[in-house]
Amino acid sequence: MGEKAEFREAIASQPDWMGKAAKLAADALAAHPKVPWSPGETVAVVGMGSSTNAGAVFVAALREIGVRAINLDASAVARFPEGYKPADHVIVVSESGRSPEPIAAAARLGVEPIVVTNDPTSPVAAGARLVAPLGGFVDSGVYTIGYTTTLVALASIAEAFGATFVDPATLAGVADMALARYAAGASSLAANLDERRSLDIVGQGPSAGSAQAVALLFREACGMATAPFETLQYLHGPMESCGPHTATMLFGDGRENGIAAQLRDASTLVIQFVAQFGAVPYAAAVEEIIFAQLLAAELAGQRGIKVGEFRFPQPDTKLK
C-alpha cells in the first residue's frame, strides 16, 4: 500500500503536522463563501475506521454547544437511496481519500459535502463543496497523524461555520504537552497491561469518541482484545466481565471515580486518565489519544509487534 512512517516517529511528529493542518484548513475555508450553520440544522460526519472515531469526538463537542449533529458509518451511507439527504450539512472524512465506502457515500448524498482528506486529488474529493486538506504527510500503518490532524480540521470547519468550541490553532500545543508529559510512565504501565487479557476503554461526551479510537488503536497496534463504552452504559452490564484478568482505561474523574473503586476491589487493572485540559473536552480528546498512542507503542514493543504489519490484510479497503 506504499510507504508508511514508523509508528513512534509518526507519534512524535504530530504537533508539527497539526499546526500545518490548522493553517491549511483555515486557508481553504477562507477561500469559500460560508453561511453559518443555523439553529435546528443537522450536521453529519461520514467516515470509516479511525475517521469515524474522530467524527464521534467532533459530534459530541458540537452537541455540547447546542448543534444538532450525527456520526455515520460511510458503509451505511453508501447503501442509502440515491440522493438521500441525511443532514443539512455533511462532512466526509477519508485520510487516504481511497477508502471505497466514503467515496461511494459522497457520490450518493443529497447535499454537496465538505471533504477532509490528506490527498485533495483523491476520488473522495470529486463533487465536494470544499476540501479541507490535512497536509500530505506519510502516516504510520496504524493511523496516528491522520487522526489528530482530522480533529484539527473538523474543529476548523466548525469554527468557520460559527460553531466554535475550541481554537484549532491551540491543539498542536496540547499534543506537544502530552508527548512531553506522558512518555516517561508509558513503559512501566505497558508492562502491567501486558499481563491482562483484555482492555475496556470508557468515557463520556467527546471522551466516548476517544474510547472508540483507543479501542481500535490497541487492536491494530498491540493485538489486544478491546471494547469501547460510554461511561453510564458501562454500568448497565458490560463491567460484569471485569476481574483479575482484565484492564479498564477510564477517561475522566466524574462517575468514572466510582467505577474505578469497584474495579480495583475486583483486582482489575485500572488506568484512570484525567486530562490537564479537561475543561475543554475537545482538547482533552487530543491528550487522551496521545497518551494512548505512547502506551500502545510501548506495549507493542514489549510484545515484539511491528506496528503496521497487519496479520489480516484486506484487498478492498483501499482503491489501488
Report if pTM > 0.75: yes
Enumerate the domain spans of the chain.
7-169, 183-302
CA atoms within 13 A on the CB side of 65: 19
Domain spanning 183-302, CATH class: alpha beta
Q: Which three cell numbers stand for residue 109?
A: 448524498
Percent of the chain with pLDDT over 90: 88
Sorting pLDDT into bands at 50, 70 and 90, what band is 1?
very low
> H or E element: which one contains 86?
none
Predicted confidence (pLDDT) at residue 27 exceeds the cutoff of 90: yes
Predicted confidence (pLDDT) at residue 166 exceeds the cutoff of 60: yes
Q: Assign residue 242 a region (left: φ > 0; alpha: ψ between -120 and 50; beta: otherwise).
A: beta
Mean pLDDT of 49-73: 97
Predicted confidence (pLDDT) at residue 2 exceeds the cutoff of 70: no
Sorting pLDDT into bands at 50, 70 and 90, what band is 303?
very high
CA 294 vs CA 10, 105, 213, 317: distances in Å:
11, 33, 14, 26
Right CATH for 7-169 from 3.30.420.40, 3.40.50.10490, 2.60.40.1290, 1.10.10.10:
3.40.50.10490
93-107, 120-134, 195-209, 301-315 — most confident range: 195-209
